[in-house]
Chain A
């Protein structure tokens, strides 16, 4: 990295108590995020992608806890900084957009009131100034008739509009980083497209970075610059989005891409599937995390030690024993 990254996550580890011992929901995950860059974190259930979002801003729910690692934001480690600093950062320099806008937005207060509250919390200014700023940011997110409709309660708005308000809240204090945890999962396809377009446009206009968590790999090329693939709490592949999608290196990524139906794939044949299921938390066997289901696992190697990172192209890395030995030819399995 030539320039200092805005966000540097190093060896992040989040554990939950399971059957008397600590099971890792996120295991030694590291990634960097440059200013103005968008990274998509992709994984299925149990991958730990949501937990990373929560850990970055130190909001891991009990009984989980952050066991190890650093989250360097603008030079400061958010995991060890003071609560005061953290409170200033959250909602200010770091904005969050969650999956369910109904839980982000308080049903008892108007949209305008909630926005102005957030603004005044981070910038000490008058109510009037805050209201002006709120209108402004609502306009940016395409919220129609901001001045009048600001007085609406969240319950009176549709899902799409509520999510726009959530985005407005995240943007209101000119953040440097916006963390989006499955922001469009509950929305209709057409609304999802609107929100993705909106986020893309806002990122280009205001230059903030985005962490975009999703289970839908099809979304990634439309918003992200880079992609990080997670499996059972471990990072298995990372790289420029088009590179990973077109030339995937890890057997899991390959399996995931193949089993996701696309509008352009061939019809009428069986979809390749990944045999088995994701192991439940705390039941991951030693060795490479995907070894138990991997069609090209090397006996005696993949079930013994975790792989290190190998180079799979410019800025593209993969954690796979098979790849380290045989390159892409070794990991390209077909069902």
Chain B
């Protein structure tokens, strides 16, 4: 029996089948979640950054002759109760949402990495302290925290970012700790110790690179949650104060006009939904790419070791 490698049998109607196969392969093989999500977020970021130049009207410009106008050629997203252009306000609202959630996510992840690694490599006291702090943080209802803070201090963008950081660092710390703990049990960490590496070196050079992919997957998921959180706070009147446009604030203003001017609530709501979903898609895409699955409820990470 001459063992010539068998050629794969040709499919019936070869060209059509090949085309079908290629489409299927593209869908199965490529990471459509990552692509789609990135494109959508890219568009939103672009709109937010370029708002001062490409917004059709200044966001605060009122036109009392044209209040509650439905979407038209002049006003693609309609106008609100005092005649301000919705589209421009949505674009400016994006700046707030993205800034608060973006910077909030970055800060909370940085703190999460610091505390998570400290819990694993810092010794028993550090571990206990950090774990207790995480427990307290997670047990505390965010809304109460928000109410407490915003009643004491004027809710500026900075304060909101602080709030996001406080709300998010514990989740990041848990994920970081989970991965770092798994790695620390492995023989190569012991081998590094035996060669003379100190804890900082092991944490930084040996373990952190394994932690990084999980953090990368967590980031868009956290940011997505923060988009919604910021919108919620604005809707409850605890966000950046008007007249600065925020998506949540616009929904609040449009609440009374629900039956007559649906675009005032629906369109900002849609923006929140699309942005948050795009971020989640990016998160899923990254999960596929790196092979790390994060369980947001328990903060554990399931990793495909040889990805």
Consider the complex of A and B and state whether they touch directly, i.e. have CB atoms less than 8 Å apart: yes
Chain A residues with a Cβ under 8 A of chain B: 20-21, 28, 286-287, 304-306
Instruction: Assess whether B259 is interfacial by the CB under 8 Å rule.
Output: no
A21 touches B2 (CB 8 A): no
Bound CA span A21–B3, Å = 14
Q: How far is the CB of A215 from chain B (nearest CB, A)?
A: 23
**Stretch in B4-12, B60-68, B214-222 touching the partner:** B4-12
**B191: interface (CB < 8 Å):** no
- Tell me how far the C-beta of B149 lies from the nearest C-beta in chain A, rounded to whole angstroms: 49
Q: How far is the CA of A28 from the CA of B1 in the complex (A)?
A: 11
Taking CB atoms, residues of chain A closer than 8 Å to B4 are: 286
Q: Within the complex, what minimum Cβ distance (angstroms) separates A111 from chain B?
A: 32
Give me the 10 closest cross-chain CB pairs, A-B, nearest first. Answer: A286-B3, A305-B2, A306-B1, A306-B3, A286-B4, A21-B8, A287-B3, A304-B2, A286-B5, A286-B2
Across-interface contacts of B1 in A (CB, < 8 A):
28, 305-306
Distance A267 CA – B2 CA, assembled complex (angstroms): 43
Collect the chain B residues with CB atoms within 8 Å of residue A304's CB.
Answer: 2
Shortest CB–CB separation between residue A233 and chain B, in angstroms? 12
What would 10 more interface pairs be, CB under 8 Å, given A21-B5, A21-B6? Answer: A20-B8, A28-B1, A286-B2, A286-B3, A287-B3, A304-B2, A305-B1, A305-B3, A306-B2, A306-B3
A225-B103 Cα distance, complex, nearest whole Å:
73
When chains A and B are docked, how far (Å) is the Cα of A306 from the Cα of B4? 10
Chain A interface helix/strand/loop/mixed = loop
Complex CA gap A304/B2 in Å reads 7
CB of A262, distance to nearest CB on chain B (Å)? 31
A136 to B4 CA separation, bound complex (whole angstroms): 55
Q: Closest chain B residue to A289 by CB distance?
A: B3
Q: How many A-B residue pairs have C-beta atoms within 8 angstroms? Tell me.
A: 17
Residues of chain B lying within 8 A (CB to CB) of residue A305: 1-3
Can you list 17 A-B contacts with CB-CB less than 8 angstroms, sorted by A residue number?
A20-B8, A21-B5, A21-B6, A21-B8, A28-B1, A286-B2, A286-B3, A286-B4, A286-B5, A287-B3, A304-B2, A305-B1, A305-B2, A305-B3, A306-B1, A306-B2, A306-B3
How many interface residues does chain B have, given as a range? Answer: under 10
Using CB atoms, name the residue of chain A closest to B2: A305
A21 to B4, CA, bound (A): 13
| Cβ-closest chain A residue relative to B6 | A21
Q: Which residue of A lies closest to B1 (CB)?
A: A306
State A207–B248 Cα separation when bound (angstroms).
80
Interface centre among B1, B3, B5, B6 (most CB of A within 10 A): B3
Per-residue interface assignment for chain B, residues 272 to 297, with 1 indicating a CB less than 8 Å from any chain A CB and 0 otherwise: 00000000000000000000000000
On chain B, the residues within 8 Å of A306 by CB distance are 1-3
Report the Cα distance A21→B1, complex, angstroms.
Answer: 19
- In the complex, what residues of B have CB within 8 A of residue A286's CB? 2-5
Specify the chain B residue showing the minimal Cβ separation from A304: B2
Give the docked Cα–Cα distance between A306 and B1 (Å).
Answer: 6
Interface string of B1-43 (1 = CB under 8 A from A): 1111110100000000000000000000000000000000000
Residues of A near B3 (CB, < 8 A) are: 286-287, 305-306
State in angstroms the CA–CA spacing of A279 and B248 once bound together: 61
Provide the residues of chain A in CB contact with B8, threshold 8 Å: 20-21
Q: How far is the CB of A14 from chain B (nearest CB, A)?
A: 16
With CB as the reference atom, state the residue of chain B lying closest to A286.
B3
B residues 148-204 touching A (CB-CB < 8 Å):
none
Residue of A nearest to B3 (CB): A286
Cβ of A287: which chain B residues have Cβ within 8 Å of it? Answer: 3
Residues in A neighbouring B2, C-beta threshold 8 A? 286, 304-306
Q: How far is the CA of A287 from the CA of B3 in the complex (A)?
A: 6
Bound-state CA distance A305–B8 (Å) is 21
- CB neighbours of A28 from chain B (8 A): 1
Residue of A nearest to B7 (CB): A21
CA distance A306 to B2 in the complex (A): 6
- Give bound CA distance, A286 to B3, whole Å: 5
List the A side residues contacting B5 at CB < 8 Å.
21, 286
Kindly state the separation between the CA atoms of A286 and B1 in the bound complex, as whole angstroms: 10
Look across to chain B and name the residue whose beta carbon is closest to the beta carbon of A285.
B3
Cβ-closest chain B residue relative to A22: B6
A21 to B6, CA, bound (A): 9
CA of A28 to CA of B2 in the docked complex: distance in angstroms?
Answer: 13
Q: How far is the CB of B192 from chain A (nearest CB, A)?
A: 28
CA distance A135 to B45 in the complex (A): 73
Bound Cα distance from A305 to B4, whole angstroms: 9
Bound CA–CA A20/B2 (angstroms): 21
With the chains together, A24 CA to B3 CA distance in Å?
A: 12
Which residue from chain A places its CB closest to the CB of B8 in the assembled complex? A21
Nearest Cβ distance between residue A182 and chain B, in whole angstroms?
Answer: 24
Q: Using an 8 Å CB-CB cutoff, how does the interface string of B44-57 with A read, 1 for contact, 0 for none?
A: 00000000000000
Within the complex, what minimum Cβ distance (angstroms) separates B21 from chain A?
Answer: 11
A287 and B2 alpha carbons, distance in the complex (Å): 7
Q: Which residue of the partner chain B has the closest CB to A305? A: B2
Residues of B within 8 A of A21 (CB): 5-6, 8
Assembly CA distance A21 to B7 (angstroms): 9
Q: Could you tell me the distance between the alpha carbons of A304 and B6 in the complex, rounded to whole angstroms?
A: 15
| CB-CB contacts below 8 Å: B196-247 with A | none
* Distance A28 CA – B5 CA, assembled complex (angstroms): 15
* A316 nearest CB across to chain B (Å): 22
Interface string of B69-84 (1 = CB under 8 A from A): 0000000000000000
